Amino acid sequence: MKEIVECYKVDTINLQRNDGFWLNEGRLILRSVNVGELVEDRYQSAYAEARFSLNEADTKSMMLLLDADGDSLAYRLKQHFDGAAVLDRFKRFCDQNQLKYEYAFITG
């Protein structure tokens, strides 16, 4: 898996959160990785990750909708989804454009 672009980062004593887009075998993946005391208090685990994955066809559709190619994808993703609400913006964009994503919540 290769990171394309980071869209949001928090680094405090109680929480470290990093939201970013990754590519894995032609699939676009949005990962929100969270660690720290706040995560442990809520999930009884020091690590939690929310992951939204598009299949290859929907990844290509996303690129067309964003007017992106391999060279401009990072820029376009940051332009459209950057900030604290990256997860919500991504889900809304996918829903509005009928792009199906798989969701996984991982702890441990």
- pLDDT one-digit tens code per residue, 69-81: 999 999 999 999 9
Report the candidate in 98, 23, 78, 82 with the shortest Cα–Cα distance to residue 53: 23
The 101-107 sheet, strands edge to edge: 2-11, 16-24, 27-35, 47-54, 101-107
Percent over 90 (pLDDT), the chain:
98
Is 0.85 surpassed by the pTM of this model?
Answer: yes
Q: What is the CA radius of gyration of the chain?
A: 14
Q: Is 86 exposed, middle or buried (0-12, 13-18, 19+ CB in 10 A)?
A: buried
CA atoms within 13 A on the CB side of 25: 2
